[in-house]
Amino acid sequence: MRNIISRREFLRASAGFSGACLGSSLIFSGELAFAGTKKDDIFRREARYYEKLPNRRIKCKLCPRECVIDDQETGYCGARENHDGKYYTLVYGRAVSANVDPIEKKPLFHFLPGTTAFSIATAGCNVLCKFCQNWEISQARPDQIRSYKLFPKDVARYAKNAGTESIAYTYNEPVIFTEYVEDCAEAGHEQGVRSVMITNGYIQAEPMRDLCRVLDAVKIDLKAFTEDFYRKIVAGKLKPVLDTLTLLKSENEWTEIVYLVIPTLNDQAADLKKMCHWIYNELGPDVPLHFSRFYPIYRLKNLPPTPLATLEKARNIALDAGLHYAYIGNVPGNEGENTYCPNCKKIIIRRIGYQILENNLDSKGRCKFCKTSIPGVWH
């Protein structure tokens, strides 16, 4: 990973923002600071999915929360605000992070392996995961974080100049900046750069369908397979996420799923079995499923990291359920990082961490050894 905006470009891009700085970390702006609130208006665009109600109230129709918002108030995500009965996104072109990452980091294992993605984020999120890795940006509001002025055409240009194959909307929840995603993806396509969305899938059907028109792949964080976990740990609901997964299937959108295995909270074998069978039955055996290791953070500092044995057990449950591509994440060097041919069982892509050590796909995306077609986006 490297930060791709040069210091001079950054200073130009962020002109007008007090306290902006260039760092080398993943989220170099992940501390609360104030970024020239007088300039807030340039990031304001009328929202695309909402309904007007009496008394200058509005109802947001972007995610399943359907926040009803009074005049001058923001929605749950903090990234949308009611002004005089009109609803606005506050984060259009307001990036708080921009990096070049390996696509494997997202993780997307069946999407242009070995390429990089120009990765951007804004502030805000429509859920409140107690284990959020990026909580300093996801749980803050736009005016509390240092920002880049990075409008869609700039994003596409940076992505192209950095030699990336795709733009990734990631780190915080892209659902809440959907207008920005749609326009960046279109601008990217004009430059020959694709777009991938790293999301919790907590979105209504209409905006998700609109996004499918411009996205090339989606990674869904399926955080558990019980409503109880979603209610207590995520402040959301499971059902809408499952609806999004089936919608993505019906739209033929390339989709991978990540499941962060948290000790004692969502690691019960029975729930994992139920989930794997649901995926097999509703989405088919070819959806890659990544079991990712949890590290204590944010509000769940009291729990230990996921034991390797738990991750291996989860992967075996998925394979036993008939899923062809079950992975283990956040454990570099584990055999569960490799892609195996479901037919001849040989390693097709060998990985360590985000690195590809061996790629045995032929030019048609088939196993070099037995010619079995491997699902994914390979070119």
- Residues near another protein (CB under 8 A): 31-34, 37, 55-57, 68, 70-78, 128, 139-141, 143-144, 235, 298-299
Residue 170 binds to ligand SF4 (criterion: CB under 6 A): no
68 binds, among another protein, ligand SF4, none (CB under 5 to 8 A by kind): another protein
Interacting partner of 33 out of ligand SF4, another protein, none (Cβ under 5 to 8 A depending on kind) = another protein
Contacted entry of ligand SF4, another protein, none for residue 144, CB cut-off 5 to 8 Å set by kind: another protein
Closest residue to bound ligand SF4 by CB:
75
10 Å Cβ neighbour count for 333?
Answer: 9
Instruction: Determine contact, residues 292/327, Cβ cutoff 8 Å.
Output: no
* Partner interacting with residue 198 (select from another protein, ligand SF4, none; CB below 5-8 Å by kind): none
Q: Does 230 bind ligand SF4 (CB under 6 A)?
A: no
Tokens of 87: 């609803």
C-beta closer to ligand SF4: residue 215 or 262:
215
DSSP label at residue 178: H
Given 66, 73, 210, 286, the residue binding ligand SF4 (CB under 6 A): 66
Q: Are 76 and 126 in contact (CB under 8 A)?
A: yes
**DSSP secondary structure code for residue 367 in this structure:** B
H or E segment to which residue 349 belongs: strand 347-352
Which partner, another protein, ligand SF4, none, binds residue 62 by CB below 5 to 8 Å per kind? ligand SF4
Q: Which one-letter amino acid corresponds to residue 278?
A: W
Contact pattern from residue 95 through residue 134 relative to ligand SF4, giving x for each residue in contact according to CB under 6 A and a dash for the rest:
-------------------------------x--------
Q: Work out which of 58, 98, 123, 176 binds ligand SF4, going by CB under 6 A.
A: 176
Please give the angle made by the CA atoms of 122, 298 and 171, to the nearest 5 degrees.
Answer: 25
C-alpha to C-alpha distances, 301 to 131, 230, 264, 305, 344, nearest whole angstrom: 8, 18, 13, 10, 42
Closest CB to ligand SF4 among 173 and 256?
173
Total residues in contact with ligand SF4, by rule CB under 6 A: 12
- Residue 132's φ and ψ, nearest 5 degrees, are -60, 130
Binder of residue 159, out of ligand SF4, another protein, none (CB less than 5 to 8 A by kind): none
Strands 50-52 vs 45-46: parallel, antiparallel or unpaired = unpaired
Residue whose CB is less far from another protein, 213 or 301: 301
Give the integer Cα–Cα distance in Å for 148 and 241.
30
208 forms part of the interface with ligand SF4 (CB under 6 A): no
Q: Beta strand 80-83 with 86-89: parallel, antiparallel or unpaired? A: antiparallel
| Shortest Å, Cβ 374 to another protein | 42
Say whether 311 sits in a helix, a strand or coil.
helix
- What are the residues facing 257 on neighbouring strands? 220, 289
With respect to ligand SF4, which residue has the nearer C-beta, 88 or 294?
Answer: 88
Give the whole-angstrom CA distance, residue 13 versus residue 2.
18
| Contacting residue, 4, 5, 35, 63, with ligand SF4 by CB under 6 A | 63
CB burial readout 37-73, b (16+ within 10 A) else e: eebeeebbeebebbeeeeeeebebbbbbbebebeeee
Out of ligand SF4, another protein, none, what residue 63 binds, judged by CB under 5 to 8 A for its kind, is ligand SF4
Instruction: Note the residues at the interface with ligand SF4 (CB under 6 A).
Output: 60, 62-63, 65-67, 75-77, 80, 126, 176
